[in-house]
Structure 1
């Protein structure tokens, strides 16, 4: 069959572009597992086009590497990792070394590639002299939820803080409870990111106590890490203690958004009237307040016709004003705009089935069985919440990976995936 160069080039471009979409989709509030699987099938179709094209497909991948972007690195890395030509892998590695921020695409490719295709390729990364490649090797094992043994424990003491932080995170993701003493020591690290991931993993592994207070401090003092800290702290505190801490959080004006998110994370329906008030009185928090309400109650604001048009006087994200220097994207762009009146009526009709002080996720009290149902049916943010809840309920089990290729997640029941998510040979 003749190779049509323009078609092969299009496969490379589309694979890279669609990867960018899926990189955002894995944490998007409007993507379900079925939606993610459909998008990933489109990515896979273009990757298959590159496979079938053979050398011509690889040439297009190499050409794409010149753009120094993560999507192009992802496409090239999948083709290289699936083959047996070490020179191809070296070309991708050279591109990543030249532009380290594209490592995200390489790690994603390692997670995309089927375990039986990786063979011993991850071992070379784990045994590299470069902290960058050791970090990528640990990340590769972590996204497949495989224990990389001594390589992980050694990395916990590495002088490179980015490698150490990734190893600390992987300890929690892969349920390495034997590393708890190391995690406790690293909580006092001078590097705040290492201290955070040490406390985060310790919490997932069942070590609470002072770990809670450490994450509470991070939540109000470290804007990049604070939202992650809140996602764990409010899931382990008893409802009364969670309420007390939310009052503390309310004293920090810069944490207004985190407070609204925290009400949803707490799962306590007692906060729903306050969330509805935020929808009415605080436009910049209205949509995230609606998301918190949905996280607790399970109501779909769009499907239940509880949304409204964007208010005419509301402006979020980059504007067209030349003097406006704020170029940050609207964090709530993909959330529906809640209509407070109908939502209040909905709550009045449904509040009797919710009990203050009980923690809910997507409309049901939190349990292992319900969390697994949410992993199957929820949107990606709800699925992330369910995965965290399960990990906290079962400290001896790995954190379920909601970012894995959607079609792979759908191949078997979530219960089985929790037991054996699949892992590359190190």
Structure 2
């Protein structure tokens, strides 16, 4: 039997626990957890900013919570698993899982069973980020015993962890509930095509846009022709649903696909989505079109896409200025909901900080840079596109652009290089180090996409 607590709240016979310090660790960690989620889709931060900023401070507070041991788990962390805020449930779950003397897996999975969508998202993120030994095996054993929503969450976490999800997929079947089907489609990028095919076939024609989009993202990783043709046809006909078709044509790298996106900029499709996608094309004629948009609108989004192609150092003070005070309210927090949604979106879309572009400075820079670039080539951050450059760009582009480049890396490696852009920064960097040794296809997707289901 455990010794009773004294009036001070300290367990007799145990080391002294400073509860006020642990509670401060919990509050600070919850705040930084939320900040990190927002940073993951920041349009003006890079991986280095994340690693050295919010993430480093978050990990310090999480380690502080773990030092509380069993007493902290019982008094502070397990009750917090029932919180309504995803950042609090995430912090509590990660800390429990990090305590080797505690079996944190069981209470976290129990909390998954009863949690609403928002707190369940925090629990799922904790499972994805946890580095507890043996966690993959424990989750695989438990998943089939869970109800559909928590089971889907566990499967998503296993996909984020790049675990062997084949045994779990083998116990499921297409036509399951939508959340499980969507999670299974994400998992299909980690298994051979014969196993993935039975899930992908029906989803590509499904009436639910989320299932269709997930099937296309995964289908292109497997080099399937059908989803590629669907994406191309939708852009050609100006009836795109979601951003996957636009981004697929952009990362294809082909000049014909770039021309289709330029045409789409003048059509009925959402302008910001097209501008966002154009930045991934890498083509100089696209850069010239973006510069025209910039002249007309001084659009930060157009400048950001232009910079992604040409290497314009957009974050230098000479190119930017703050928006007018009456156009921006620093107390306004209406972005919270959208930021939370985008943080869990696989391919975040366009967003812009409250900055104005000094167009004349951009034009002056371009007059000097343009002669060095070949109109026939493809570029990324001002350098000729290459497999090595794609891996290196993952360190240099904004956090918001990284998921699209991670998708291109997965496609061009036929699934061999799959970097999870929401993992801890050091985990991502380890994946990128391994990616340097993998051979990537350089052809346009019209050439690559040859496989059938």
Q: Give the alignment of 1:157-168 within 5 angstroms.
A: 157-168=174-185
Among residues 37, 47, 50, which one is paired with 2:51 in the alignment? 37
| Matched residue SS, 1:337 | strand
Aligned residue in 2 for 1:184 = 201
Aligned residue in 1 for 2:313 = 300
Q: Is the 8 A contact 1:216 1:233 kept in 2?
A: no
| Matched residue SS, 2:419 | coil
Q: Structure 2 CA distance, aligned partners of 1:407 and 1:180?
A: 30
Q: Structure 2 CA distance, aligned partners of 1:247 and 1:62?
A: 55
Aligned residue in 1 for 2:359 = 340
| Matched residue SS, 2:274 | helix
Q: Give the alignment of 1:313-324 within 5 angstroms.
A: 314=327
Q: Structure 2 CA distance, aligned partners of 1:335 and 1:362?
A: 23
Q: Structure 2 CA distance, aligned partners of 1:317 and 1:358?
A: 42
Q: Give the alignment of 1:259-278 within 5 angstroms.
A: 259-278=274-293
Is 2:409 the partner of 1:390? yes
Q: Give the alignment of 1:321-332 within 5 angstroms.
A: 332=351
Is 2:12 the partner of 1:12? no
Among residues 146, 150, 155, which one is paired with 1:138 in the alignment? 155
Among residues 366, 391, 399, which one is paired with 2:385 in the alignment? 366
| Closer/same/farther in 2, CA of residues 214 and 132 from structure 1, 3 Å limit | same
Q: Structure 1 CA distance, aligned partners of 2:146 and 2:303?
A: 48
Q: Is the 8 A contact 2:322 2:356 kept in 1?
A: yes
Shift of 1:354: 2.0
Aligned residue in 1 for 2:432 = 414
Q: Give the alignment of 1:221-236 within 5 angstroms.
A: 226-236=242-252
Q: Give the alignment of 1:76-87 within 5 angstroms.
A: 76-82=92-98, 83=100, 85-86=102-103
Q: Which has the higher contact order (CA 8 A, sep 6+)?
A: 1
Q: Structure 2 CA distance, aligned partners of 1:21 and 1:383?
A: 18
Q: Is the 8 A contact 1:186 1:195 kept in 2?
A: yes
Q: Is the 8 A contact 2:43 2:351 kept in 1?
A: no
Q: Structure 1 CA distance, aligned partners of 2:233 and 2:41?
A: 23
Aligned residue in 2 for 1:70 = 86
Q: Give the alignment of 1:192-231 within 5 angstroms.
A: 192-214=209-231, 217=234, 226-231=242-247
TM-score normalised by structure 1 residue count: 0.84
